[in-house]
A and B are shown apart, each in its own frame.
Chain A
């Protein structure tokens, strides 16, 4: 059981470049999330998905897009990276409904945009 995995672990982009972060979970969870964490800050929700083929905006969705084509995968895309998107990105998954209080997090992706 790998839990939640994220690819890549580190990435450096130049302003204007694009990239996709991949998240995979093997726990058969319905819900998946993308968060960003900036120094000294909590986790802020970017987008989330309550099931295959569905996505929704979170607290800070601007500049990001997501897709959930398969239940086990949740992709986060940056179409035109900006320095303000330098952050650590965490993916998480959970059971549905009010069981979402217990989320399982991946190891994170450290992204630097220069």
Chain B
């Protein structure tokens, strides 16, 4: 089976940096995806890591360590609009993604 763990809530100050961690246990692993979901909205894709290391996309970066079964999403220069839920999801090779339960990020002034 699969399991993913991520913190349920994180609060950070506007302009700061925040890291959202994700640890996983899966029977097969191809990579780790991150999605953002605003309240009442649909999930949208942010980033994907298939190999160890850091992937950077603008203010957002994502990191993967396959040996530690661990990844994180790093958000820099936080803006109020970054307040949302963030989900990690593993590609298990079984033709689908398995999602974590999400981290609710609140950005405060």
Contacts and interface: CB of A to CB of B under 8 A. Distances in A.
14 contacts: A40-B102, A42-B87, A43-B43, A43-B99, A45-B96, A48-B95, A58-B96, A90-B42, A101-B31, A101-B33, A101-B89, A102-B33, A102-B45, A107-B41
Contacts of A104: 45
B71 interface: no
A42 B33 contact: no
Nearest to B1: A59
A108 B37 CA distance: 12
A7 interface: no
B48 interface: yes
A45 B2 CA distance: 13
B53 interface: no
Contacts of B18: none
Nearest to A107: B42
Nearest to B40: A108
Contacts of B108: none
Nearest to A105: B42
Nearest to A6: B42
A105 B45 CA distance: 9
A99 to B, nearest CB: 9
A56 interface: yes
A60 interface: no
Interface string B79-109: 0000000010101010111111110000000
Nearest to A97: B95
Contact of A98 (B4, B89, B93): B93
Query: Which of A33, A41, A98, A107: most chain B CB closer than 10 A?
Result: A98
B87 A43 contact: yes
B19 interface: no
A31 B71 CA distance: 26
Contacts of B96: 33, 45, 48, 58, 100
B91 A42 contact: no
B44 interface: yes
B95 to A, nearest CB: 6
